[in-house]
Structure 1
Amino acid sequence: MLYYLFDYLDKEFDLIGAGVFQYISFRAGMATLFSLLITIVFGKKLIQILQKKQVGESIRDLGLAGQMEKKGTPTMGGLIIIAAIVIPTLLFARLENIYVILLLVTTLALGSIGFLDDYIKVFRKNKAGLAGKFKVFGQIFVGLIVGATLYFSDNVVVREFEEPQSTEITEGTDQAIRYNDVKSTTTTIPFVKDNELDYSKLNPTDKEWITAAIYILIVIFFITAISNGANLTDGIDGLAAGTSAIIGLALAILAYISGNAIFSDYLNVMFIPNSGELVIFCTAFVGACVGFLWYNSYPAQVFMGDTGSLSLGGVITVLALVLRKELLIPVLCGIFIIENLSVVIQVSYFKYTRKKYGEGRRVFKMSPLHHHYQKLDIPEAKIVTRFWIIGILLAIIALATLKLR
């Protein structure tokens, strides 16, 4: 909203300094600052409210060091994260941008599903929370909205440049660069030189509805998998928030490059018109995650709960989909995927061995993976720091794919 106010003041009154709001870099910096202030200043107020309402986490005794000391710690702290993402975005982003709208809807929708789950656990005293089938149904519904928007909206396009008709340029003249903004289901394949994949090629027929169904199913799969992965990662203090901040920063860089004609051309990256505006959302996202660590780092004063973790995973996925980098998710979101896989492997192997030998056996001492290391008596803070380091390495590898092909 401030963007439109200062744009008006600049055009109508030529107000000194108002034109700075035209720069994405300035608005991104302000979004980061505001999101940090919101989490740090208002986060304390929310924690006090949650404590008065006795919105404490119910802890099961799993035999983990320091686990029972966390009993009664306020949960639903994801409300802080959501506010610190949404408010700066509303203030500094261009709100007619289809990608900004889509990400705001995703944040609020998945946050609402997580909030309902936390509400049932805390106020209804039902440790199971929202039934798994309803949670997955909500994620599928969000994926359906995102997939349909990205596929059918006329505002979601990529820019294709035409090769110049002649390599000779007459002195004193400019050779215009021709381009078309087209609807496309192409995405980027990492580590490949001719690195574009068109999902329509997966359709063996000429029926468009099948291409749409394939694309939307892919979107649903990614959103469900990564939001659940983020949810599983949120098991020890600071792990999910810190990992998400690292991923968000990498996505901010990718958004800036994809939305800048010069940088995208230099790096041979798909140019996506209007995607540069996502930098504001990404920096608000990073600021919210970092600011949340003020209270969530070990020992945590508040937990984000499903309210925060589901929305974090969903937002990261939608950002990757919008930037046509969803095939980079296995690298960029490696921590989330490993946490997810550790649970799948543990459960599958336990069921298989129980059926075969009559007694269930385990691959890990406990899942998700971070609990396995806790069982090895590694201090919680050290586990989190090491996971962050791995997350940074994965983010660097993901960014390196811009040149390593």
Structure 2
Amino acid sequence: MLYHLLTPLADEFTIFNVFRYITFRTGGATMTAMLICFIVGPRLIRWFRKKQGKGQPIRADGPQSHIVEKAGTPTMGGVLILLSLVISTLLWAPLNNPYVWVVLGVTVVFGLLGFWDDYLKVTKQTSTGVVGSGKLIVQCVTALVAGWICVSVLQQTPGIDEGIATGVPIPFVKGLLIPMGMLIVPFAALVIVGSSNAVNMTDGLDGLAIVPVMIAAGSFMLIAYLVGRADYTEYLGLIYVPNVGELAVICGAIVGAGLGFLWFNAPPAMIFMGDTGSLSLGGALGAMAVAVKHELVLAIIGGLFVFEALSVMIQIASFKLTGKRVFKMAPVHHHFEQLGWKESTIVIRFWIIAFILAMIGLSSLKLR
């Protein structure tokens, strides 16, 4: 909004020229989202605590310490993240950019799905909300539409080869793509849905999910900016995606919203993000990776989320096939709790792992 209102004034008032720069608007989105969280957060938490009563239901089969320590903590903190993220994006990003609307659309739809899931859990005081199959259908349909739009926009961009639009780049290898054809659309949907649910599985301890999300968003902030610049893509050997650099603004908004939310989610958490936050943020990262043509790099940068999701799949498969469990409890962060690790130790060590993986993922931009 500010871009459209103030950029035309740049010819007359030089100071407004800064609104033409993605870097400036990304910083503005970061600060705006963080300030909204700080201002709205305390009031929203008090309101949720009053309305939810007993707060988020705690898994009876989870770590027993959670039943005592986390009982009564309100959930749906993802509303705070979504509110600040959406407002700051609409303020600072150009509203005629299709990639902005695709990522924002996935974020909002997944957020609404998560909100309904959280609402059912709180009102029914149960750990199960929306039926799993129904949740998956909504996610898949939304992700398919988002993937199709991203591919279609790139296909219709002058100078972009069809093979680039429908191919999947291999990290660390220059110019090599996996040809997917129109299978690129279901593949894109798989990336978006997988990312959403992986972040959702990671969200089990105070502050555990939000910091790795911010690290991933910060990484894709840089990737989006570089991929949207013809000069940098030529130098680094990356695929050039015109206009995708504006997604850096959304990444900045995610980082700002994450910092603001972490203020209230730091141990001991005053509020949980719930599925409202985890599904939407995971979906945003997945849609971002699809738009900037770095789908496989997301698996590296978001390797912590991948590990959490794999731990659940391995646990289920092992128990069904052999009757034995590989982990003491899944997702894997609960396994370390059962081993006697303190919650703060697990959280901080997982943050370190997320940072290391992000550095490895970002190194793929030059090592090719």
Is structure 2 residue 12 aligned with structure 1 residue 17?
A: no
Aligned equivalent of 1:36:
34
Specify the alignment match of 2:365 in structure 1: 402
2:186 & 2:138 partners in 1: Cα distance? 14
1:191-270 matches, within 5 Å, as: 191-200=172-181, 211=182, 214-270=183-239
Cα distance change, pair 215–181 in 1 and its aligned pair in 2 (3 A) = closer
Summarize the Cα distance change of 1:159–1:334 in structure 2 as closer, same or farther, 3 Å threshold.
Answer: farther
Alpha-carbon separation, structure 2, partners of 1:364 and 1:100 = 40
- In 2, the alpha carbon distance for the partners of 1:112 and 1:17 equals 39
Relative to structure 1, the CA distance from residue 141 to residue 96 in structure 2 (aligned partners, 3 Å threshold; closer, same or farther) is: same
Q: Partner of 2:168 in structure 1?
A: 187
Cα distance in structure 1, aligned partners of 2:220 and 2:65: 35
Unpaired segments ≥5 residues, structure 2: none
Aligned equivalents of 1:344, 1:394: Cα separation in 2: 21
Equivalent AA in structure 2 for residue 35 of structure 1:
A
Of 362, 376, 390, 2:353 maps to 390
Report what 1:306 is aligned to: 275
Q: CA deviation at 1:185?
A: 1.2
* 1: CA distance, partners of 2:291 / 2:63: 42
SS state at 1:81 partner: helix
The farther-off stretch of 87-96 and 123-132 is 123-132
Task: Name 1:4's counterpart in structure 2.
Answer: 4
Q: Using a 3 Å threshold, how does the CA distance of structure 1 residues 182 and 228 change in structure 2: closer, same or farther?
A: closer
One-letter identity of the residue aligned with 1:60: R
Q: Distance in 1 between matches of 2:365 and 2:159?
A: 18
Give the secondary-structure state (helix, strand or coil) at the position aligned to 1:197.
strand
Point out the structure with the larger helix share: 2
- How far is the alpha carbon of 1:182 from its aligned partner? 9.4
Count of residue correspondences: 366
Residue type of the alignment partner of 2:117: D
Displacement of 1:66 in angstroms is 4.6
Identity score, percent: 42
Normalized against structure 1, the TM-score is what? 0.86
> Which residue of 343, 352, 372 maps to 2:335?
372
How far has the Cα of 1:295 moved from its partner?
0.6
Question: SS at the partner of 2:52?
Answer: coil
Cα shift readout 1:289-337 (whole Å, capped 9, x = no counterpart): 1221101111100000000000111100010000100021221111111
Match for 1:341 among 288, 310, 316?
Answer: 310
Tell me whether 1:272 sits opposite 2:241 in the alignment: yes
Q: Any unmatched runs of 5+ in structure 1? A: 161-179, 201-210, 354-359
Aligned to 1:143: 143
Q: CA RMSD in A?
A: 1.8
* C-alpha distance in 2 between matches for 1:104 and 1:156: 21
* Cα distance in 2 for residues equivalent to 1:110 and 1:308: 9
Q: TM-score, normalised by structure 2?
A: 0.95
Q: Tell me the residue number matched to 2:107.
A: 107
